[in-house]
Amino acid sequence: MLVTLKEILDTANKEKYGVGAFNTPNLEAVKAVIEAAEEVNSPVILQHAEVHESLISIEEIGPVMLDYARRASVPVAVHLDHGATFEMCVKAIRQGFTSVMYDASSKSYEENLAETKEIVRIAHAAGVSVEAEIGHIFTSEVGSGEGGQADSSEDYEDLEDVYTDPKVAKEFVKATGIDCLAIAFGTVHGMYVKKPKLDLARITAIKEQIDVPFVMHGGSGVSEENYKIAIKNGICKINYFTYMSKAGGEAIKEYIANKSIDTPLFFDQLSVAAYAGMKADVKQAIQIFRG
């Protein structure tokens, strides 16, 4: 059933578990995520990232995500991930998405605050939840679909300037009225090229200031133990894509490796292999997040 992000996350925040938010830029991914969530009877979030417009547009994949969400036996929110423009957020709201992320975290604090407030006013009037971000979450040079945006902690002299400041987070949430907050504490979008160094105590410090559900971006490649600590400290939504997509790619590799070189390859078989690989990976991730 289609529900808002706020409904899913407020319950997760109260009961202290994590909910997976998976990017689904193709039908195989949509099917994999919904079926995995149904098999473990867990709420789930389907999300379309604005950067994935290069793979498929919201006009094409949005109605598919919404249709699968409505027919699912578990609560499903359909969310815009990293909305970069006012226009994209309004497009998602008009399509029927039940939440949007407006990401102005690379702009000045004042601009982020003013623009996020404007999105909240429109989204809440339409019954749609809002996620926003304070701090800066790094992007690795190795990953799918987010090329050209890579940066690294070495680009910054002082991590205190990029990780979420607890006091600023409190002020931002109170002033904007957002439903959940993406926080920066060392996770990275894409593949980790170095072992992740997470400031997990920062989640607790932010939680002591403000009790809204927090979002972990760059959820792929975090250890099971660190997911558990992050969830215990206040993370409720875990954005996860790279490892799921990699699991689909690896399943195709394995399918091909089991064929002799002169066997013809058929795309529909590759698509089924990718769907099955993604589903197994997503199912495992959801189970870890649920604890």
Residues in contact with ligand 13P by CB under 6 A are 23, 49, 81-82, 189-190, 217-220, 239-242
Residue 201 Cβ vs ligand 13P, minimum distance, rounded to whole Å: 21
Three-state SS at 232: helix
CB of 139 to ligand 13P, least distance (A): 9
**Shortest spacing between CB 48 and ligand 13P, in angstroms:** 10
* Least Å from the CB of residue 149 to ligand 13P: 12
Residue labelled with tokens 């002591």 = 208
Structure tokens at 85: 């423009």
229, with CB counted inside 10 A (0-12, 13-18, 19+), is middle
* Type of residue numbered 81: D
Where do runs of H (alpha helix) occur along the chain? 5-15, 27-39, 58-71, 86-95, 109-125, 166-176, 200-209, 224-233, 242-257, 267-290
Is 120 buried (19+), middle (13-18) or exposed (0-12) by CB count in 10 A?
Answer: buried
Whether the CB-CB separation of 203 and 185 falls below 8 Å is answered with yes
- How far, in Å, CA of 57 to CA of 39, rounded? 28
Separation in Å, CA 228 to CA 3, 180, 195, 205, 289: 25, 19, 17, 17, 7
CB of 13 closer than 8 Å to CB of 237: no
> Which one, of 111, 113, 135, lies nearest residue 215 by Cα?
135
Q: Which is nearer to ligand 13P, 217 or 283 (CB)?
A: 217
- Provide, rounded to whole angstroms, the least separation between the CB of residue 267 and ligand 13P: 25
Query: Which entry of 10, 81, 155, 165 is annotated as an active-site residue?
Result: 81
Type of residue at 76: V
- Closest CB 130 distance from ligand 13P, rounded Å: 15
**In terms of CB distance, is 207 or 246 closer to ligand 13P?**
246
Question: 81 catalytic, yes or no?
Answer: yes
Identify whether the C-beta of residue 77 lies closer than 8 Å to the C-beta of residue 5: yes
Q: Among residues 228 and 269, whose Cβ is nearest to ligand 13P?
A: 228
Q: Which residues are catalytic?
A: 81
